[in-house]
Amino acid sequence: MDFDLELRTVPDVAAGVILCVTYARFISSHLRPGLPRLLPLLPALSLLPFLPMLFTSIHFRTNAGFFISWLCLFKLLLLCFGRGPLDPSLPFISFLSLASLPVKLPTANDPKKQSSFHSLSPKYLLTTAIKAALFAGLLSLYRFRDQIHPYLFLVMLCFHIYLSLELLLGTAAILAGAILGMELEPHFNKPYFSSSLCDFWGRRWNLMVSAILRPSVYIPVRSCMGRAAAVIATFIVSGIMHELMFYYITLLPPNGVVLLFFILHGICTAVEGWYAQHGNWWRPPKILATVGTAVFVICTSFWLFFPAMLRDGTLENGMREIEAMIGLFTGDMYLVKD
């Protein structure tokens, strides 16, 4: 990985995002929500998914894809219809930050909301340090991959995804919040305590995505087709976006397996919601429901989710990039050119 090249690409990608967001703010301030906004914004919206492709490394490309092609794109789509957190009357810096970062405007009238500075408590810092240490230890184990049982290795990948997202999103949100004075957008809420699929996907795992999909897909579909259709439609859209994220990771044509994973979870979540509506039916003990949810998520991930991530040496390329970045900070510069 050419780390210098990736850093030189950052201003180009940032400039593209700024241009698209600036154009969206200008158009939305002069045209009413609906098709009058959407049609002139289509060129800018179409450009966003291509910007991450300017990066050559998996980590830069995938992280940029998540922030630009998912968060930013969906927030601008909501803006086209007068929904979501964006408003053309906001100051430009606030508008840009809300569009592209996991932050939200402070709510001074709600004392229960925590500011970004309050989030930097000793407990939070200690928890983050522990997660960073666990992530570093996990990375160090990858060199022994050939000696690790395949299923244990997939469990390690589960923790890898969770810890890396926690650290990435938490760091980005804290920096943006500290610099811009905005509140953090919650990203995870102890997903290992999930007692149902609805609890896992809706209230504990990657809450930023849930907050975006709810107004953009779930609420519109539910209003005309009902809850079950809205749940399945939301998971289908999430599956399509994950296929795009996996394309950023592998640069291989999507094979639909990740989409199938989310369709399966969407159907199961809809059935679970239907069952929950019958209050007099049997309910498993919470501990059993929690274990069952974890087993289902992990087993289906082993079956459909992770194989798509491990196609054609993608993991090896990703590990070389991690070694290169570690080498950059530890002084082992030969790793950077590996």
Q: Per residue in 117-127, pLDDT tens?
A: 445 567 777 88
Do residues 67 and 23 both lie within one domain?
yes
Tokens 């970004």 found at: 116
**Last-in-domain residue among 184, 204, 224:** 184
Question: What phi, psi does 183 have (nearest 5°)?
Answer: -80, 155
pLDDT at 278: 83
Domain ends where: 49, 79, 102? 102
What is the pLDDT, as a whole number, of residue 106? 60
Any domain includes 79? yes
**Residue 93 predicted with pLDDT over 90:** no
309 and 246 Cβ atoms separated by less than 8 Å: yes
Given a cut of 80, whether residue 14 has pLDDT beyond it is yes
Measure the CA–CA gap between 47 and 44, rounded to whole angstroms.
5
The answer to whether position 247 is within a domain reads yes
**How far is it, in rounded angstroms, from Cα 262 to Cα 134?**
28
* pLDDT score of 60 more than 60: yes
**Structural domain containing residue 8:** 1-102
Flag whether 109 is in a domain: no
DSSP result, 237-290 = HHHHHHHHHHHHHH-S---SHHHHHHHHHHHHHHHHHHHHT-TTS----HHHHH
Most confident listed range (101-115, 118-132, 224-238, 314-328): 224-238
For residues 122 and 189, the answer to whether their CB atoms sit within 8 Å is: no
**pLDDT band at 109; cut points 50, 70, 90:** low
Do 166 and 95 fall within a single domain? no
Specify whether 90 is located in the same domain as 214.
no
Domain presence at residue 190: no
Mark whether 224 and 297 lie in a shared domain. Answer: yes
- Asked which of 21-35, 65-79, 169-183, 201-215 is least confident by mean pLDDT, the reply is 169-183
Average pLDDT over residues 34-55: 95
Q: Domain count of the chain?
A: 3
Is 111 part of a structural domain of the chain? no
Which has the higher per-residue pLDDT, 158 or 51? 51
pLDDT at 328 over 70: no
- Are residues 336 and 199 both part of a single domain? yes
* pTM reported for the whole predicted model: 0.85
| φ, ψ at 103 (rounded to 5°) | -130, 165
The Cα-based distances of 218 to 163, 182, 253, 278, 297 in angstroms read 28, 27, 28, 22, 21
Sole residue written with tokens 């959407």? 38
Structural domain contains residue 180 = yes
Residues 249 and 331 in one domain: yes
Same domain? 232 vs 313: yes
Does 41 fall in a domain? yes
Give the Cα-Cα-Cα angle 262, 266, 271 (nearest 5 degrees): 150
Give start and end residues of each alpha helix (H) in the chain.
Answer: 3-30, 35-47, 58-64, 73-80, 92-100, 122-141, 150-180, 197-199, 207-213, 219-225, 227-250, 257-276, 286-300, 306-309, 314-330
147 and 56 in one domain? no
- What pLDDT digit, counting tens, does each position of 188-232 carry? 888 889 999 999 999 999 888 998 999 999 999 999 999 999 999
Give the rounded percent of residues in the chain with a pLDDT score beyond 90. Answer: 48
User: What Cα–Cα distance (Å) separates residue 296 from each residue in 1, 156, 257, 266?
Assistant: 37, 17, 17, 13
Instruction: Indicate the pairing of strand 183-184 with strand 103-104.
Output: antiparallel
Structure tokens at 173: 């949100």
**pLDDT grade for 1, boundaries at 50, 70 and 90:** low
Neighbouring C-beta atoms of residue 202, cutoff 10 Å: 19
Q: Does position 315 have pLDDT exceeding 80, yes or no?
A: no
Average pLDDT, the chain: 85
Q: Quick one: pLDDT band at residue 239, thresholds 50, 70, 90?
A: very high
If asked whether residues 91 and 131 sit together in one domain, one would say no
Report the distance separating Cα 32 and Cα 79, nearest Å: 10
Give the per-residue pLDDT at 224.
93
Average the pLDDT over 90-103 and give the result. 86
> Of 136, 165, 184, which residue is a domain's last?
184
Q: What are phi and psi of 174, to 5 degrees?
A: -65, -45
Rounded to an integer, the average pLDDT of 74-82 is: 95
The answer to whether residues 25 and 94 belong to one domain is: yes
Kindly state whether residue 107 falls inside one of the protein's structural domains: no
